[in-house]
Chains A and B, each alone.
Chain A
Amino acid sequence: DTGVSQDPRHKITKRGQNVTFRCDPISEHNRLYWYRQTLGQGPEFLTYFQNEAQLEKSRLLSDRFSAERPKGSFSTLEIQRTEQGDSAMYLCASSLAESTDTQYFGPGTRLTVL
């Protein structure tokens, strides 16, 4: 059983460019979460999917951010017109839709916006 994987691990882009990250959860995990972690801080919740439905979005998720999980398996997080303030580690986690299940994290995608 492989863990949560994320691609790419690192992304450097210029301000104004669009970027897309991918997350593959643990197979059979129907819940998928995106978090953002800035240097020296704890992760902050961005959005959550149960199967293919996006059920909650944080106020942190501006209009430039969009996330999808089209078939209830992998998910993508796109940032349009990137800004320097978007530089962070983007973490994905997955869990089963049980009331007590633990979230398992991927290695993250580190985004640097120049």
Chain B
Amino acid sequence: AQTVTQSQPEMSVQEAETVTLSCTYDTSESDYYLFWYKQPPSRQMILVIRQEAYKQQNATENRFSVNFQKAAKSFSLKISDSQLGDAAMYFCAYEGIQGAQKLVFGQGTRLTINP
């Protein structure tokens, strides 16, 4: 079974600074998808960024980018120019390409932005 591990329960960063959230995963599959989801205090889960495992290029969405290291099974999220609205729980998630394609989530990292 696939597992996802987020080793940082909490992180904090000064507004306008850069922060990196870590994620590692375990799988025997060669093709899959990886996601970062954001869950603000209102609790609605919002997609931040996705990465296809077959793509070597790291995904980027505005201030959000990932560092995908397939051999190391590592998938970190970098947030540049942090804003107060970035404060939330961040979940790393894995999705296989077979069957139900259900998401397997990590435990989450609570990100605090200090003004």
Contacts and interface: CB of A to CB of B under 8 A. Distances in A.
A107 B97 contact: no
A45 B103 contact: yes
Contact of B47 (A89, A91, A104, A110): A104
A100 B102 contact: no
Interface in B4-18: 4
Contacts, number: 58
Contacts of B50: 102
B68 interface: no
Q: Could you say which interface size class chain A belongs to?
A: 20 to 34
Q: Could you say which interface size class chain B belongs to?
A: 20 to 34
Nearest to B103: A103
Q: Which of B33, B44, B46, B101 has the most CB of A within 10 A?
A: B101
Given A42-B105, A48-B102, A100 B52 contact: yes
